[in-house]
Amino acid sequence: MNSVAGTPRCGVRRISLSRVCPGLWTAQRAVPTILTLLLTTAGLFAQTDPASEPAVLAVAKVLPAVVNINTERVVKRRVRDPFEDFAAQYFGNYRSRPREIRQTLQSLGSGFIVDKAGYIVTNEHVVQRAADLKIEVTMNDGKVYNARYITGDDQKDLAFIKIEAKADFPFIDLNNISPNLLGQTVLVVGNALGYGSSISRGVLSGTKRDITVEDVEYKDLLQTDAAINPGNSGGPLVDLSGRLVGVSSAKMAFTPQGVPTQGLGFAIPAETVRTSVTQFKEIAQKQPAPKTKSSEPEQPGPNAQRFFGMQLQNLTPDLTDALGYAAGKGVLISAVELDSPADRAGIQRGLVIYRIGKYNVTTVKQVESLLLRASSGSEVDFTVGIVKANGGGQAMETVPLTAR
C-alpha cells in the first residue's frame, strides 16, 4: 500500500476499508445511528402533549380538593349622630337613642379539603376565629357551601373548618406528603386576587425559616420563589406528584428595614399541617353536632344601608330648622359606609335624598318601601343635594348607584 506523508490512501482494491481507514469506517457505521437518534428526538418533541406534563397532571389531581374561602363579619358599634348633637345646641331636649352602625368586613383566601367528610385546612388569619363569622366555601366545580369554624392555632396560623354534604368530598391525602427537597419544583394552587384556580410555579428555596408578621413570629417555615399573592393564603403548595409540600402563608415584599424583595414566599410545612390536623380532629369529635337551622336568624338591615351603604334619618321640624334646610323635603343621609356604592359615587354625610327614581321622598319609610325590589346588581337613581330654607344650597344631582 502506497501512502503520502504517512497517510493511507483509502479505497485501494482488495484492501479492507475497516483495516485501512478505521476512522472513516466507524463514522460511516455511526451515521445511521445518529440519524435515527435525531429523528427519534425530533419525534418526541413533536409529539409532546401538554396534557401529559407533570405539572398539569399534578394540578388536575389536587384542584378538585382546593376551595375558595370568603368570610364576612358584621361589626356593630353604637354612636351618636353628629347632626343630633348639632341640633341639641339649639334644642336642649332634642336627644334620641345612639344609632347602631353595622360595618361588614370581608376576607378572601384559599383552603383545601383533607378528609372525605369535608374537613378543610386554611390559615387562621383567613377565617378569624369568631362565632358570628359567616364562612362561604366555593368548590372548583362552582358548588357553594356554608362552612363552620371548628378550631385553630394562632401561633401556627392554621385553622380547621367543615362543610357538609351527603356525598364524599375529594381531598389531599396527608398520609402521603412531599419529602420537601431543596430545589424541587413546587406549585402554588389557590384563589390569587380572587381569581379561582390560579397556579404559580417555582422551586423550594429553603426550610426552617423564621419570620415576623405584624409582631407575630412564625417558625420553621418553608421558603419558595413561587408567586404567593393575596388570596393564596391557606391554599396548598404541592410537588409534581400532587403531594402536599405545605400551606401558603405569607409573602415578604419588603425586609424589616424597608428593602424590597423578590421571590420570598413562605409556607407552613406539610408535616406541621398533618400533626395539627390530628389535634383538630380530636377537638371536632368533642363538639356538638351543628344545628340544621339557626334558632335566631339575623335580620337584614335597612335596604339603603344593605345595598348602598347609606344610613338615613328623618328630617324632623326641629332638625330642619337647626340645619337651615327646606322644610318637608327629603331624607337626611346621616352616615356613609366606607367603600360602599354611595361612598364610591361621592355621596357624603349631610346630603339629602330628595327623590328616588321619579318619586319624591320625605321619610325613611318611603325610601325603604321604594327599595324593596332592589337586589344585588340593580341600578337605582338617587337625586341628592341640599336645599336651604332661603332657597340657597347645593344644586341637586341625580346619581345612579348599583346595589352591592
Catalytic residue positions? 125, 157, 233
Cell 403531594 -> residue: 243
Distance CA 269, CA 277 (A): 13
A 10 A CB-CB count for 369 gives 14
Contact status, residue 161 vs residue 114, Cβ threshold 8 Å? no
Which three-class secondary structure state does DSSP give residue 216?
strand
Residue type at 326 in one-letter notation: A
Distance CA 321, CA 40 (A): 92
Distance CA 184, CA 202 (A): 8
Cell 363538639 -> residue: 287
Length of the chain: 404
Specify the long-range contacts of residues 90-97, CB closer than 8 Å, at least 24 apart.
90/318, 90/321, 90/322, 91/318, 91/322, 94/318, 94/319
Distance CA 379, CA 399 (A): 10
Report helix, strand and coil shares of the chain as percent, to nearest 5: 25, 35, 40
- The H-or-E segment that residue 71 falls in is strand 66-79
Distance CA 97, CA 85 (A): 12
Distance CA 110, CA 382 (A): 38
Cell 430545589 -> residue: 183
